[in-house]
Amino acid sequence: MAEPILEFDDVDIRYRTDGDDVRAVNGASFAIDEGDYFGLVGESGCGKSTIADSIVGGLDDNGEVVSGEIRFKGEQIQDYSESEFNENVRWKEVSVIPQSSMNSLDPVMKLSEQAVEMAKYHTDLSRPAALDRLRELFDVVGLSESRISDYPHQFSGGMQQRAIIAFALFLQPSLIIADEPTTALDVIMQDQIMDYINGLKDDWDVSMLLITHDISLVFENCDSMAVMHGGQIAETGTVDDVFDRPRHPYAILLQNAFPDVRFPDRELAVIDGHPPQLRDEVDFCTFADRCPWAEPACREGAPPATPVAGDDDHLAWCVRAGEMSELAANHLERSTESTSILEGGQ
Amino acid sequence: MPTDGKRESVDRRRVLQAIGAASAAGLAGCSGSGRQETTTEGGGQETGTAADDGELGERVPTLTFQYWSDQGPPTVLFEETISNIQSVASDLGIQIETQPMTTAQGITAVGDDVRDFHVAVNSHGPDPGRLDPNNLLQSYSIDRAGANGEYNPSNYANAEFSELVDQQATIGVPEERRQVVGEAMSIYSEDMPFVPTIERPTTAALNTDMVQPIEAGGAGLSAVNWSALVESGAQTQSGTDTILANLPGEFLTSSFYPTVGDTDSLGLYTQLTHSPLMLYNSDYERVPVLAEDWEVSDDGTEVTFNLRDATFHNGDPVTAGDVKWTYEFLSEQYHAGNYQWTALPEELTVEAVDDSTARFVTPDPAPTLVTAQLPTFGVLPRDPYVEAGIEENPTDFEDPMIGAGPYRISTYNNQENIALEPHDGNPQFQVETPIVMQIYDSVSAVRRAFENGELSIAVTLTPDAGRQIADSMGDTAQIVNGAAFLPFGMMPQMSFAPGMFREFRQALSYAVDRQGLNETYAFGESEEVTYCTFNSQQHPWYDEQYLTEVGEETRNVEAARQALSDAGWGWDDQGRLHYPPGAELEAWPEGETPNPENF
Amino acid sequence: MSRLRYFARRTAVTAVLIFLVASALFLFFRLMPGDYTSLLIQQGMDPQQIEALRRKWGLAAPLHVQYVRYIVNLLTADVGQSFRYGEPVWDLVAPRILNSFVLVAPAITATYIIGGLFGAIMGRRRGGYLEKSGIITVSAFHSIPDFFLGIILIAVFSSTLGIFPTSGMLSTPTSIMIQDQPYWRRFLLPEFWKHYALPFATVMLYFMQYPALIMRNSVVEVSDQEFLHYHRLKGLPESTLLRKIIRHASLPVVTLYPISLAASISGLVLIEIVFNWPGIGSLLVSSVLARDFPVIQFVFLVAAVWVILGNFLVDLLYGVLDPRVSVSGSDGE
Amino acid sequence: MSDGAPVLELRSLEKHFDTTSGITETIRNRLVGEGPKLVRAVDDLNLTLAENQVQGVIGESGCGKTTLLRTIIGLYDPTGGEMRFHGRPTSEFTKDEWKEFRRHVQIVFQDPFNSLDPKFSVRRTLAEPLEIHGIDYDRTDIEEMLESVGLTPASQYIQQFPNQLSGGEKQRVAIARALITEPDVILADEPASMLDVSTQAEILNLLNELTDEFGVSMVYISHDLSTVSYICDHINVMYLGRIVEKAPTRALLADPKHPYTQALIRSIPIPDPHYDREQATIGGEPGDPIDMPEGCRFKNRCPERMDVCDETPLDVAPDGDGDREVACHLYYDHEERAGAEPKPAASDGGERP
């Protein structure tokens, strides 16, 4: 197995506010291996975007990594200054495909100019060279080269999203963070975009951190994943592990809550309540209140990472991870028997 | 409720005044009880039991006092006049509201006899032409009253008066004319279409570090009347070589004076740069300037002037030829509609008897010629003006700016400033120092500039500003106070009630505290006017023997109430004023003009 | 779409607007009671003479006739003669408009530049002491009536400290001295700048509020925009980001600029009067009171045209600053 | 009520918009002599909603589904076609009948965060429609309704304000508000799309139960087939203002006819790493509603593109299955049809500007 390109080691992130701080991320640990596509799933406000921001120093001014280590290629980056991020991380190494492509491109700059600008600050590419590069990339993401000097507003949402992908590839980074890259798009467009993102895996040796609320995207496009809830990592492992042997209640319920077009009749699992406000010390399982199997222990200290089936790469942060297979039995034996109504596939 | 509010504040005011004014104090005691008896007794004299309680006529409505809101300092006086009356409104049992209007609005409204205000607190502009009574007499004549668009300040309709007004206009023999004018004035004064309050004060200040103090006549020193300055020779203190003075905004808009926009600026030319044959000095007396003297023929159709030795600014002598050309030309242009103010008789001919004798001839007597027009418009040198093309286009030619005044115009910047240099060819006035005059739009700007030494003479100040300067500069400032020749006052609209009733006008006249006005507005520098006339005591035609005294220097509310109740007016138990029972409330129907038969 | 068509449309619209404004002006002042001749009455001009004048000025004619005449003259660039001064309106107004312009145009411009930058700084230091005090200060200056602000400055710098003169554009003697020289010569005189200082300061302090606060708000707004976050993540240095922020944030300020500038045509009446600045302001006021229609109509027309053209220019400028605009000219989004 | 006639019936409904914006824009157009630009947001649309039926309408954003919804509740006047409520054309409605109609047709909006008045307590939110329609009620009515949408204990929620509720709870209140007037029809505009998966599920289930429990019919509008399939008996696939295919849910999913439907279904990601989905083979962008292609509006993106696609396709029942319709040239023999139905030609004419 290759050396991890990005590691989170027991990271706490907080946002300072006038009242109590908001503890957005608590004791988050996971690792992305070189060349892997890693999916980070969770409901809105679970802290997944905060994690993304922390990697590229994109936290809001009042946000801060208070403890733990974020290692990029073995290098600790959690305490980097703005300029250090510019020097060593941003774009050359880690580029971002932001959530809202529509609003992410500078409306008053031609795309070509925005590319040239990137080149100017990070490389010694000449202007023509930069433009040529952009043309190539436009080709890669399926945009016509002739349009590199258009303005963003002349592009449709899907095209803007592709342009953004092109930008993300511009400096051949080793890690791309895709933060909800398709939420704003319709299914067909989303499918196409994910297609391109997937395509990169082969042609470019790049790792990907895919952040989304849509677990199906992760299952379809990622090698490994982490499920987050209320600022805590619930479970992490390869997508197959998490799909076949989910051991964190949230991971289990989330999958069953997710509509699957193949089984229109399936009863959808419901997860009651909502994540807690994280204003005080988080020394408990943030899912406890919503968890059907919660027991006192869940509220006595943050749950430890428990290897599933002795596999250290498949971890569940649940005190009852061991018993889950029995507890959640009826949730686990799922659709695998009943057959898809969809033709084709399998 | 606003009216209640008004009442209260009024009462409070009254109490305050009670402390000061004896009369008010007296009334404060007897109001209420006094009300009753005066009413009944009034009733007794007048129409039988008319004014017994319950036997009252229609209630007097809330009275609207209109005033011009755009007149600068006078507007302040207008407002003070109204609040002065307002402070005794409750004692008279009336309510008052005010209605500010721009001058143009106000005049149009009065001209159309629009009856939405009862009293107009306006003024007569002190324009040179009005140093002869003709102009104002005319404007009070009956054919200008009523809704005909013509301006009769109080829509005063009196046929007999108007008759005399027409006569006086064509009486050649001065004595006779004075007689007729006198009779007209006595009717006017008796009828009281104008309720005078105080003289219109003029205030100026000289910086005595720069300019030597001057002796000013009753007119004082003002932008419209510079006589005082030239009479005293305009001398500066050593070290100062130029007099810096201000002019009100819009003064310098046309260097050729017969075409100036408003007559105020005429004085500037008449007294400084374009001397006439004779002019009104700072005491409003006519003194010879370019003329030695003049005599009027017995029938008043001929006036003969003997000229003095004088030269124009270009060095040419002033000849009878110039006189002839000047006045015949000005007359012609006036009647052609080109020059707005040179109201010379239409068939005027001037004979140059010899170089130094000019005779003015009119088919009919033109009395105002020597009293109004000739003292206002100066003599022009014929040749330079003809060469400048004045005869081809009289309103648009390159003005050589030449006259025979004590000053010649060395620089003229339209709407900005004007520089004057002494000219020694004037037989009457010898002046020493150049004057530079700058347009200023606001009195306070003038005051600040004066206090800051940017001006050595400040004219057309408000009495208030004069006071402030005196306070801030002490001896280094000479404050020159004077009075214009037309007083302030109120114009009750006589086309309908209550203005149409003399007793009401009389009451108004008693109710106004002239002394108080003088104090609040003019800091006591002005004078109370108690005889009814549109001329001030300074005015050359002021003649008390024809006039009726219509008020007192201080307020007399009792007299006011008396005047009303004597005429059958009464007060109900809330003390609200009512007309006499069955009183006719229109002098003539709204929208019409008065029929001379009935007035 | 083709820029040309865009211009064509805008120009056409502009023309129509100007026409409408001209008509509105005509009507508006005609509907006020009284006309100039009323003032002549008050000065004792006799009725016959007045009738003559009203005929001469066409005030006697029915309204629609006057209107047609007015429009026709306008089309032939004849703005008529002042009733009051019998002078061509242009001669009367032009020099004063120039004076007003000389004062207000630079003052407003400076206000927008300085105020804009100040606002930008406030916007960046959000919640900081500078922002709080800054907002209070500019608002305070604006809440004082402009003329009173002027009087205060005079009280301090003229009356008390005696640094600057209280009034005028030049001392009277000087202005007479240089009257025959070209207008710009006065700019070479230190004295001019002494006279210039206080009115200039007054205008600036008074109007600072608009650019400063608007700029602050829109900087705050722009700073939160996604694309700036994206720029930042792309690793652009602070300085570059700031430049971008200012460029984006300046749009609304730019819009306001010509409108404020239009004030220099109609004149900042009170400020001009306080400092006795020989601008258009006082003439305008007295002309309105005197119902000197030709003057009023012309001055207001100039002001209106100025605003309209100003906005037109801004639209074009927008097209450059923000590419989205020029297109929005074509389709209605 | 139940007079055989369907609860709600749309017959070749049309809603076109003039996109000209603002006076100046209009003036410009007049000056340059341009006509207004029409957006054919809803065009020749037929839909029949039987009692207790749940009709789903899906399509990409901009396909006109929201316009459809607003036209149904009468926010817009249809520019053509007619709408029948219990067999009665709404065009003939009197003011009172409209009021009745509004009572019987309720809407649940997409965004629970804005669709509730923040100043209204839950109680008031539910009471308001009752008062508007002059239905007397007491606290228990409201509490029962809250219970039935799963806000238990009702007594605890009834006094709360929107800001005290979670997204899911808000949406439940919105649903309760819709149901409380005992409507015949509920129009649901992507009621789950703004919510997190966990809550999404609960809302979907809730709607499922309620429609059965209260015997309400529902038109459910969404862009997301996978959720629609959970609650709808029938699904109408909308593309650029037209319904290109309608069928019972299972049938549609199992055997989509229209190339667009096929693309839609194939694009849906499947939450199963082992499942190997065959990708959709469709390109391009959703068409521009302002100037739409002649004939079949999907043709430019259609993998099956034929020449005949320049003709407007008829709605046909594929392989004689009366239960479904598809508007695609692939599914009928044109010669035979040609004479038969003049109707499409007419509506076709309506399409050209």
> DSSP labels for B485-529?
SS--EEEE-TTBTTTT-HHHHHHHHHHS-HHHHHHHHHTT-S-B-
pLDDT at A44: 81
pLDDT at A188: 84
8 A C-beta contact, residue B459 and residue B245? yes
Provide ipTM, 2 decimals. 0.68
Indicate the number of domains in chain D.
1
Indicate the number of domains in chain A.
1
In sequence order, what are the beta bridge partners of D47? D10
pLDDT at B514: 95
Q: What is the dihedral of CA D300, D301, D307, D312, to 10 degrees?
A: -80
Over the stretch B97-134, which tens digit does the pLDDT of each residue have?
999 998 888 998 999 999 999 999 999 988 888 999 99
Indicate the number of domains in chain C.
1
C36–chain B Cβ distance below 8 A for any pair: yes
Establish if C57 belongs to a structural domain: no
Point out the least confidently predicted range of B188-202, B536-550, C208-222, D221-235. D221-235
A85–chain C Cβ distance below 8 A for any pair: yes
Interface touch A121/C235, C-beta < 8 Å: yes
- Residue D47 lies in domain: 8-28+35-239
pLDDT band at B381 (very low <50, low <70, confident <90, very high): very high
Interface touch C36/B104, C-beta < 8 Å: yes
Closest CA to B257 of B245, B248, B244, B266: B266
Count interface pairs B-C at CB distance under 8 A: 162
Q: Which residue has the higher pLDDT, C10 or B436?
A: B436
C9: closest CA of chain D, how far (Å): 6
Backbone phi, psi, residue B174, to 5°: -50, -50
Fold for the domain defined by B202-483? D-Maltodextrin-Binding Protein; domain 2 (3.40.190)
- Residue C227 lies in domain: 102-289
- Residue A278 lies in domain: 240-332
Contact flag for A and B (3+ C-beta pairs < 8 Å) = no
Establish if C300 belongs to a structural domain: no
8 A C-beta contact, residue D188 and residue D179? no
Q: Give me the residues of chain D with pLDDT under 50, please.
A: 1-2, 340-353
pLDDT at C329: 40
From chain A residues 4-63, the ones with a CB under 8 A of any chain C CB are 56, 58
Q: Give me the residues of chain A with pLDDT under 50, please.
A: 1, 337, 345-346
Closest CA to D229 of D244, D213, D250, D208: D250
Q: Indicate the SS3 state at residue B128.
A: helix
Report whether pLDDT(C273) > 90.
no
Gap between the Cα atoms of B269 and B265, Å rounded: 7
Share of chain C above pLDDT 90, in %: 8
What is the arrangement of strands in the sheet containing A311-316, beginning at the earlier edge strand?
A: A94-97, A175-179, A207-212, A37-41, A224-229, A232-238, A311-316, A306-308
From chain D residues 279-308, the ones with a CB under 8 A of any chain A CB are 279-280, 282-283, 285-286
Interface touch B416/C290, C-beta < 8 Å: no
Report whether pLDDT(B184) > 90.
yes
pLDDT at C263: 66
Q: Which residue has the higher pLDDT, B326 or D251?
A: B326
Establish if A289 belongs to a structural domain: yes
Residue count of chain D: 353
Q: Which residues does chain C have within 8 Å of residue D27's beta carbon, measured at their own beta carbons?
A: 12-13, 16
Burial class (CB in 10 A: 0-12, 13-18, 19+), B545: exposed
Share of chain B above pLDDT 90, in %: 69
Question: Residue D65 is part of a domain; what is its CATH number?
Answer: 3.40.50.300
Point out the least confidently predicted range of A247-261, B18-32, B95-109, B142-156. B18-32
A107: closest CA of chain C, how far (Å): 7
Gap between the Cα atoms of B416 and B409, Å rounded: 14
A112–chain C Cβ distance below 8 A for any pair: no
| Residues C116-133, mean pLDDT to the nearest whole number | 85
pLDDT at B243: 94
C9–chain D Cβ distance below 8 A for any pair: yes
Question: Residue C187 is part of a domain; what is its CATH number?
Answer: 1.10.3720
Chains touching C (3+ CB pairs < 8 Å): A, B, D
Cis bond upstream, residue D153 (ω within 30): yes
Establish if D249 belongs to a structural domain: no
Report whether pLDDT(B13) > 50.
no
A135–chain C Cβ distance below 8 A for any pair: no
Chains touching B (3+ CB pairs < 8 Å): C
Mean pLDDT across chain B:
87
Establish if D327 belongs to a structural domain: no
How far apart, in Å, do the first and last CA atoms of chain B sit?
42
Q: Which residue has the higher pLDDT, A255 or C326?
A: A255
Nearest CA in chain C to B129: C44
Establish if A316 belongs to a structural domain: yes
Cis bond upstream, residue B375 (ω within 30): no
What DSSP line would sit under A54-72, residue for residue? HHTT---TTEEEEEEEEEE
Establish if C283 belongs to a structural domain: yes
Fold for the domain defined by B59-198+486-567? Dipeptide-binding Protein; domain 3 (3.10.105)
Q: Mutate one of A55, A60, A80, A104 to test the C interface: name it (highest C CB count within 10 A).
A: A104
Q: Which residue has the higher pLDDT, C154 or D286?
A: C154
8 A C-beta contact, residue C165 and residue B452? yes
Q: How far, in Å, are B353, C8, C74 from residue C79 at the CA level? A: 47, 27, 6
Q: Mutate one of D28, D39, D288, D291 to test the C interface: name it (highest C CB count within 10 A).
A: D28
Query: In CATH terms, are B59-198+486-567 and B202-483 the same topology?
Result: no
| Residues C82-97, mean pLDDT to the nearest whole number | 85
Report whether pLDDT(B32) > 50.
no
pLDDT at B54: 56
Tokens of B398: 């390159």
Establish if D183 belongs to a structural domain: yes
Chains touching D (3+ CB pairs < 8 Å): A, C
Establish if C48 belongs to a structural domain: no
pLDDT at C132: 86
Closest CA to B113 of B137, B138, B145, B139: B145
Gap between the Cα atoms of D237 and D255, Å rounded: 14
Gap between the Cα atoms of B317 and B273, Å rounded: 15
Select the residue of C42, C43, C86 nearest B259 (Cβ to Cβ). C86
Q: Which residue has the higher pLDDT, B451 or C159?
A: B451
The angle at the Cα of A263, spanning A260 to A264, to the nearest 5 degrees, equals 90
Point out the least confidently predicted range of A78-82, A292-296, B52-56, C101-105. B52-56
pLDDT at B17: 41
Point out the least confidently predicted range of B40-44, C8-12, C238-242, D41-45. B40-44
Q: Which residues does chain C have within 8 Å of residue A99's beta carbon, measured at their own beta carbons?
A: 226
pLDDT at C126: 79
Interface touch C159/B261, C-beta < 8 Å: no
Q: Can you tell me which residue has the tokens 């499920």?
A: A227
